Structure 1
Amino acid sequence: MSKFFFIVYMFLFVCSQHSFASQTYSEQLQRITNNEQLSQSFIVKSLQDDIGYVWIATTEGLYRFDGYQVTPYESELGLKNNYINSIYKAIDGQILVNTQLAGSYLINPNTLQAELIYSGHLNQNQEKFSPVQAVAEQPAHFYFSIDSHIYRYGKTSKDLTLISSLPNENMFIRALSLYQNTLYIGADQGLYVYNFANNDLQQITALWMCFLMKAERGLLPQNYFLMPLVKLSVESLQQF
């Protein structure tokens, strides 16, 4: 091998090792600590916005991470040091921030401007705080779970409207999920579905879960596949 080709070979070898090392470093697990100015280690949730920043929700405020340093998010509306229940990236890229005692906010990642969209009080004449616990979204609306209720927030109208409530006011809604024209509601006492077409709220029982699983697996006759809330006859129930 000539000296020229040997030098070229060694140069390419060193470059490939450097590239491999850089890739390996970038894939390493990095812990964000006080050195990056994250003052609270209890992390509730994190997400990445469309710009590339990582938003970190903690029990003592909201932070933004650029890959090197963590910056506490502050606004004139008083988000600093608040207990953040959850954060959610909306369809338009805005960050929805739900707090325990200070309401809910929409933050524009580009301008960092915050807008208060829910005060945290269902009744403005009472001191009780009722935070948003779960979120689902359509292009024109947000759906919020607050206590045992489901509210619809109009993005344009800015109105908060009650659309349904669980049968027991002591029940707690943990999760919301939208599929087509149905809102699935995960509560501490079972799974419920709300149908927007007829404004009907029903609980999915263990029998219904069995039916849906069988239908999904193709184990039911074709004429029985009437999703999602078909009413079975007594004769068909006896087949399970």
Structure 2
Amino acid sequence: MKKIVYAICLLVMLIVTKAQAQFNSELSFARIGLEEGLSQSAVLDIVQDSQGCLWLATQDGLNKYNGYDFTVYRHDSRDTTTLANDFLYALDIDVHDRLWIGTESGLSCYDANRDAFRNYSLKDSLNKRLAVTHVAIVDSLSLLFLAGNRLYMFDVHEGLSKPAELTGFVDVEQCYSLTRRDSLIYIGTDKGLYIYSGGKKEVRKYSFKELENCRILTALMQAPSYLWVATEGQGLYRFDLSDATVRHYTARGERCIGSDYVRSLALDHWNRLWVGTFTSLNIYRQEDDTFEQYVNDPSNPASLSQTSVRSLYCDRQGGMWMGTYFGGLNYYHEQKNRFRYISRMPGRNSLNNNVISCIVEDKKQNLWIGTNGGLNLYDKQKGLFRAFTTADGLPSNDIKALQVDEERQEVYIGSHAGEFSILHVPSGRIENFMPSDRVTDGRSVYTLTPKGKDELWVSTVRTIKCFDKRSRTFTDFPMIADGKPIELSEIQLFFEDSKQRIWISDKESIHVFRIVGNTLEQVSLLPAGHELERKKYSVYVSRLTTYSGWAPVTDCTVSMRTKGKWYVILRRMVCLTM
């Protein structure tokens, strides 16, 4: 039996270690704030109900977030079934899915069945309502809360509160924090840290001399034996209950953390510790006993929206939520972090323009990116950008199409009002084909598509041509329907399928052609009145099968193919079966 337990523990350690090793220090955060419907940008507490909705305590109302929209609840002096006050401090949810809220004017309880609140106030000796700053559910019949730095027990059935009389809780004059972790409640006091077990109805004190003069803000137990204690102004403590050792993390100590003012603690699904401080988010690296720190970077929209992290919460889907002080809500999920946001960052080596029309990846996994500001080369290994613009010889900075020839070390470029160009990669020299070369009509090339090893399909606004890479010459391929020449309206996308059929999307419809000599003869594959006769801008025919394909049926659709990867922005698609 001992061998089995040991094996399980070893397996868990290996899994956690692997997860930590794979943890990307360059986290990407999603920001959710006032523009998305959040009522106020200081998020002081976060919980999740049984339906998966998040509840957020702010300084101006209670927010319910379903992942798409916010519902905001506020106090209305004319309605006794609304919140007691709009300034909220704390939240907790009981086994009946009732939400308990600590407000500036007392305790509120939200009943989802009635979509209404019950309010309970507590007054001091001057008959002034006390603010409830912390709430912790004990069981279905009772809860603890802090008001005026005193601990109270609330009877849910009676709707009455009284000073908490807990066995072992003696000589305590000031309570600073109340944190529930499952069935255990941590109480930070002027006499140190206490833990209350709701099941056993007893209080036990942690006798740590390091905490005797600390203002404890929260505590958390991390498996297998670490007790973390956050303080106001004296940093973070880690007590190893297995061997009674203590480690202290401060802003200027040997073991550095972002700030000595530690506001919140949480564990993610990999048992990693997340720490919210006055100046940063910190994530603990157990393998080297250090913290990764994350702050707001004004030039990076994927950084934290604000550096002061007031609340942390791990949802049931493994997402981490960060409530900031006047920075709204931030969200991180490891699946989301597989996508890296690349954008223009003024004053830094970055993409030179955020309007992107095409992307191609070469064999070295470098990205060639066509933008409204020119051609960008992104070296993913070095993390560096290089831009090619009209200053380097391009006829236009508005790049619409790209193709890379690895053997020739050439990049073929189509642009709006700039025609067709070739970048010679080793030298950086740019070769342009201007109107005298009879390349284009309207001086715009919108698509480039390989035609075998040595040729390239080049489509302009209204015409199709074939470029021979060896002779550097172009051949016209006029389009014919029923024996008569046709002209399309603003060609947007071009594709050659495995049966050498040519699919072309213009402003009006999708057209299919077969190659006959040096002409393109239109064929009918789509039934009359098909949905694809509506306006559309892109088409992709699957390379996996000859007989099916996908085509967006709405405007403003962009699809870009690289080697083995797709960079796509689309809304709705229709599958063709032929």
TM-score computed with the length of structure 2 as normaliser: 0.28
Given that 2:93 and 2:137 are in contact with CA atoms closer than 8 Å, whether structure 1 keeps it comes out as: no
1:84 to 84, 88, 98: 88
- Give the CA deviation at 1:195: 8.2
The yes-or-no answer on 1:93 pairing with 2:121 is no
Once the two structures are superposed, residues 66-120 of structure 1 have per-residue CA deviations (whole angstroms, 9 ceiling, x without a partner) of 3222221136235387211011111110111111x2211110234321111x214
Given that 1:176 and 1:184 are in contact with CA atoms closer than 8 Å, whether structure 2 keeps it comes out as: yes
- Unaligned ranges ≥5, structure 2: 1-27, 210-226, 228-239, 245-578
- Give the CA deviation at 1:58: 0.7
Which has the greater radius of gyration?
2
Higher relative contact order (CA 8 A, sep 6+): 1
- Match of 2:74, SS state, is coil
The yes-or-no answer on 1:173 pairing with 2:179 is no
The yes-or-no answer on 1:190 pairing with 2:218 is no
Cα gap change, 1:190/1:38 in structure 2, threshold over 3 Å: closer, same or farther? Answer: same
Instruction: State the partner residue of 1:36.
Output: 36
1:204 to 199, 203, 206: 206
Given that 1:79 and 1:102 are in contact with CA atoms closer than 8 Å, whether structure 2 keeps it comes out as: no
- Match of 1:31, SS state, is strand
- Match of 2:32, SS state, is coil
Superposed CA RMSD: 3.9
Instruction: State the partner residue of 1:115.
Output: 118
Q: How many residues align?
A: 185
Q: Distance in 1 between matches of 2:39 and 2:196?
A: 41
Cα gap change, 1:167/1:91 in structure 2, threshold over 3 Å: closer, same or farther? Answer: same
The yes-or-no answer on 1:158 pairing with 2:159 is yes
Once the two structures are superposed, residues 171-208 of structure 1 have per-residue CA deviations (whole angstroms, 9 ceiling, x without a partner) of 2330245898x86422254113568999986643227x
Q: Which structure has more helix as a fraction of its residues?
A: 1
Given that 1:137 and 1:178 are in contact with CA atoms closer than 8 Å, whether structure 2 keeps it comes out as: no
Instruction: State the partner residue of 1:72.
Output: 72
Q: Which structure has more strand as a fraction of its residues?
A: 2
Instruction: State the partner residue of 1:144.
Output: 145
Cα gap change, 1:56/1:195 in structure 2, threshold over 3 Å: closer, same or farther? Answer: closer
Cα gap change, 1:198/1:57 in structure 2, threshold over 3 Å: closer, same or farther? Answer: closer
- Match of 1:35, SS state, is helix
Larger CA deviation: 53-62 vs 186-195: 186-195
Q: Distance in 1 between matches of 2:160 and 2:131?
A: 17
Once the two structures are superposed, residues 132-189 of structure 1 have per-residue CA deviations (whole angstroms, 9 ceiling, x without a partner) of 42423123211223334332211212221223376353x2330245898x86422254
Cα gap change, 1:51/1:146 in structure 2, threshold over 3 Å: closer, same or farther? Answer: same
1:125-136 equivalence runs, <5 A: 125-127=126-128, 129-136=130-137
Cα gap change, 1:122/1:196 in structure 2, threshold over 3 Å: closer, same or farther? Answer: farther
Cα gap change, 1:58/1:198 in structure 2, threshold over 3 Å: closer, same or farther? Answer: closer
Given that 2:108 and 2:118 are in contact with CA atoms closer than 8 Å, whether structure 1 keeps it comes out as: yes
Cα gap change, 1:194/1:35 in structure 2, threshold over 3 Å: closer, same or farther? Answer: closer
Given that 1:122 and 1:130 are in contact with CA atoms closer than 8 Å, whether structure 2 keeps it comes out as: no
Q: Distance in 1 between matches of 2:117 and 2:161?
A: 18
- Match of 2:157, SS state, is coil
Given that 1:121 and 1:130 are in contact with CA atoms closer than 8 Å, whether structure 2 keeps it comes out as: no
- Match of 1:67, SS state, is coil
State the percentage of identical aligned residues.
20
